[in-house]
A and B are shown apart, each in its own frame.
Chain A
Amino acid sequence: MTTLLQVDSLCKSFGGLQAIKNVSLEVEDGEIRGLIGPNGSGKSTLFNLISGVYKCDSGSVRFDGADVTNWEPHDIAAKGVARTFQLLRMFTEMTVLENLMIGQHCHVQYGPFAAVFGIGRVAAEEKRLRDEMMELLSFIGLADFAEVPASEMSIGQRRLLALGRGIAMKPKLLMLDEPAAGLSPVNVDNLMSIMVQLKKRYGLTVIVVEHILKVVMDTCERVTVLDHGEKIAEGSPAHVRDDHAVIEAYLGREMDDEEVRAAMAG
């Protein structure tokens, strides 16, 4: 196994608040990694740093053999990193299908000139793209809504669509920020089965941030835990579940271990 993503002593502060302190992280090719931590522990900030949305103060990010520290977000995306946003940020006025097609932006080979003059070639390319995206839409279960604006979708459907847009980018690494938030229990199960299939079907490496611990505990091989911007634990789900620092971070010192374990298993 080779290392796909290597984050080395990353730091980021906002004014006086240090949101990420010296975080190092290695993700293997083909791994499904969980990233958990209490609210405000810096999970989304870490995603934003890796995907280039925020610039880091110090430290480095290496991805797929290149130093991508502080690259522009679109360059990092082109290199093979896709991410979803906690607040979705879908293109609501565009149709569901267009939302997926835009994910393929880096893989489209023609520009505005060809669109005007190269009718045949562009039409063929668009058709290929459309067919491929329709297939992906059926995979995430939204095929019937292809031509409907994303603004008409429910929050749960939009979560699925965000996941679809990430897959459409054909990335090497897919980072999911709370993909199960707002999903009904049935859809949470759906999501988990999709996540497991992602690896088989698209060969993706996945990092998933999730508050519904069941999702992380059941699908991830390894889990990293952040608290107050610091990495406090890392290991298999079972190992992390029993880690004292984690239990303290999550639930404070008052609860006894049995209760905590029950909560985390739930």
Chain B
Amino acid sequence: MNALVQKSTASLDALKRIHPLMPWFASFVLLLPLPLLALNDYQIYLLNVICIMIILATGLNIVKGFCGQVTVGHVALYAIGAYTSGVLSVKFGVPFWFCLPAAIAVTMLAGALVGIPSFRLEGAYLALATLGFAQSVEIYIRVTNYLGSASGLGGIAPPSIGNFVFYDYFRYYYLVMPFMLIAVYASFAILRSATGRAFMAVREDALSAAATGVNVRRYKLIAFMLSAVYAGLAGSLFAHMVPGYVHPNNFTVIEMVTLLLMVVLGGIGNIWGGIIGAILVTIIADLTRDFYFYQLLMFGLVIVGTVLFMPKGIGGIIDRYFVSKRFVAAREKTAEQKRAEAAAAKSGES
């Protein structure tokens, strides 16, 4: 185990020395043949869903995990992204490459709107406010004929580049996967920068962050808008995927619980959390789809269990491993220095 970890960190460092973006390019190349390993079309479909869920969960992890804002309105932002893209495509014949940025922009504005209550509300109160928002969006979609109401909105055109149309799951993977990688790269870049530190400071202690010079409101708003950009991207990609059909059932409380489970199980506030969680939960949800009616119960129980017994999720356990190694190393180093000093003092005396 130790040797494996050492080897992989070493090779990662070697890649980074070539170019800082090299690890990302390497992942891209590694992910390219993945659909060829799939046994059937359904598994390729799952790969696409996993990519979309990674985008969505990574976005949620920014605002919830890193900035510490308890929002349960994320699925509504996902819906807004999907429906903006869908409506533009179906009603106005706008091509995907214009639907996508429009969906992201609209969702980002909606994200700012959801973020404003966070200036005054915290914890459970913020959760309630955002839950109210999510419910209103879902209900609004269900009763609005223009959006296809309860029978859904169909006929959303698949994206294309020139004559190449992403009309099946196999082709769509080569659209979704690069977007997923770019989104994940951006989250790593931002969260490991000064912006990410400011998010964490707001989460840890908003008052202390302010006294350290962080404009708390501004960073809350940035976190909400950033996570909305991810939701808008995921929504648009979902809407244009075959069969080009969105339905209010894709954006219910059940979806929200599933999304929460991804972030919590993967590791809340862990940079890998959204990714680990999205992969695991999508696969588990698929394996247990015969027990659909018990799924919500099961997911809820797993969330409670995770929060109680491993509050930082799977990512946290992995982190813990590295941190304790570093801590032991630091302590040993200090002890050694003390011993050396003591020895020096002794030889000085004699």
CA distance A110 to B193 in the complex (A): 9
Q: Is the C-beta of A152 less than 8 angstroms from some C-beta in chain B?
A: yes
Decide if A98 touches B193 in the complex (CB within 8 Å).
no
Q: B319 — nearest CB in chain A belongs to which residue? A: A149
Decide if B330 touches A116 in the complex (CB within 8 Å).
no
Number of A residues near B (Cβ < 8 Å) is 42
Query: When the two chains form the complex, which single residue of B21, B200, B212, B215 contacts A169, counting CB atoms closer than 8 Å?
Result: B212
Q: A94 — nearest CB in chain B belongs to which residue? A: B200
Contacts of A200 in B (CB 8 A): none
Number of B residues near A (Cβ < 8 Å) is 36
Dominant secondary structure at the B interface: helix
Decide if A144 touches B197 in the complex (CB within 8 Å).
no
Contacts known (A94-B197, A112-B190); A106 close to B208, Cβ less than 8 A: no
CA distance A254 to B77 in the complex (A): 69
Q: Is the C-beta of B159 less than 8 angstroms from some C-beta in chain A?
A: no
Contacts known (A74-B215, A148-B330); A122 close to B193, Cβ less than 8 A: yes
Q: Is the C-beta of B201 less than 8 angstroms from some C-beta in chain A?
A: yes
Contacts of A4 in B (CB 8 A): none
Q: Is the C-beta of B333 less than 8 angstroms from some C-beta in chain A?
A: yes
Decide if A101 touches B210 in the complex (CB within 8 Å).
no
Looking at the assembled complex, report how far the CB atom of A252 sits from the nearest CB atom of chain B, in whole angstroms: 35
Q: Is the C-beta of B106 less than 8 angstroms from some C-beta in chain A?
A: no
Q: Is the C-beta of B209 less than 8 angstroms from some C-beta in chain A?
A: yes
CA distance A92 to B20 in the complex (A): 29
Q: Mark B215-230, 1 if CB is under 8 A from A, else 0.
A: 1100000100010000
Contacts of B250 in A (CB 8 A): none
Decide if A77 touches B334 in the complex (CB within 8 Å).
no
Question: Could you jot down 9 A-B contacts, CB within 8 Å?
Answer: A53-B207, A77-B213, A91-B200, A102-B212, A102-B214, A105-B197, A105-B212, A112-B193, A147-B326
Q: Which residues of A approach B to under 8 Å, CB–CB? A: 51-53, 72-74, 77-78, 82-83, 85, 89-94, 98, 101-106, 108, 110-112, 115-116, 119, 122-123, 126, 144-145, 147-149, 152, 165, 169
Known: A52-B210, A108-B194. 12 other contacts (CB 8 A): A73-B210, A77-B211, A82-B211, A85-B211, A89-B207, A103-B212, A103-B213, A115-B195, A144-B330, A145-B327, A148-B323, A169-B213
The 8 A-B residue pairs with the shortest CB-CB distance in the complex, in nearest-first order: A115-B193, A77-B213, A89-B208, A91-B204, A73-B210, A106-B213, A108-B194, A144-B330
